[in-house]
Amino acid sequence: MNFITVEKTAVIAILTVVCLTGCVLFENVVRKGFSEEDLIAPLPYKAQNTQKKPAGNYFMPLSYSYNISWEMMPLYAHYQGAFMAEIENTGTHTLFIYGFALKIGDEEQKGRWNSGKEIPPGKNESFICSFTCPAGGNYTYYHGVYFMAGTDGKWHDYGLKYVSEGRTLEVKKYGVAYYTPHKNYYRYFDRINRLVDPAEPALRNQVREITEDYGTVYNIAQVCAIFDWIYL
């Protein structure tokens, strides 16, 4: 009888350990995952200081002069690339920038909008634009700008004009992607969700401090800012 009692005690202890570690054989561990209705996709980030494009209401050309400089980010074949451009208005009329174009080799990509940035004489503005990279290799490329020149409510629309000077860039070939799939046990997510209260004032204040430079609407730039704050 003593042996049977010890054996039962050992079995109970093992079952207790199994339950505590989550490896419960008699539990149905297959649970419905998240659906699209459970998730809220962040909006694309849009600069807040853009203005509505004015009407091109003046037929006669107005003089213009500007300096443009730009910097390309690292580029990888068939992925999204980006460049940052800065335009200084060196003329006597106000400029309105409402789009960019990029000619890489034989391919041309254009983007123009119903909004943009106004640049008074002597001032400058910066822009960030994305584009799709071609296959890997070295290319000659040209920048183009959609712009208007105006004064006293009169605007002449010049449309797209390319910068005459071409430059070279390298699009790097992207190696074959590989990854190891991992699975996270749902109990961990459930526990975190129980412990974290999104309405907690201290938490909301911290989030507001991290994301205050990226608008008030939930967008991908806010997500990236929070990610950087956690991991950097």
Residues 5-50: tens digit of each pLDDT: 445 554 444 444 444 444 444 455 566 766 777 777 777 766 657 8
By three-state DSSP, how is residue 120 classified?
coil
d(CA 20, CA 34): 25
Residue 177 has pLDDT above 80, yes or no: no
One-letter amino acid of 174: Y
Kind and range of the H or E run holding 192: helix 186-195
Residues 58-75: tens digit of each pLDDT: 889 999 999 999 888 899
Residue 53 has pLDDT above 80, yes or no: yes
Q: Could you tell me if 171 and 190 are in contact, meaning their C-beta atoms sit under 8 angstroms apart?
A: no
- Domain residue spans of the chain: 1-30, 51-171, 182-231
Neighbours of 146 (CB within 10 A): 21
Q: What per-residue confidence (pLDDT) applies to 122? A: 95
**Nearest C-alpha neighbor of 79 from the set 31, 131, 123:** 131
Looking at every residue in the chain, the average pLDDT score rounds to 82
**Nearest C-alpha neighbor of 54 from the set 94, 10, 12, 16:** 94
Neighbours of 81 (CB within 10 A): 21
Q: What per-residue confidence (pLDDT) applies to 94? A: 95
One-letter amino acid of 124: N
**Nearest C-alpha neighbor of 118 from the set 78, 148, 83, 152:** 148
pTM: 0.62
Count H helices, E strands: the chain? 4, 9
CATH 3.30.360.10 matches 51-171: no
Residues 126-148: tens digit of each pLDDT: 998 889 999 999 999 999 999 99
Rounded to 5 degrees, φ, ψ at 132 are -95, 125
Residues 72-115: tens digit of each pLDDT: 889 999 888 888 899 999 999 999 999 999 999 888 999 888 89
Residue 218 has pLDDT above 50, yes or no: yes
Q: What per-residue confidence (pLDDT) applies to 116? A: 92
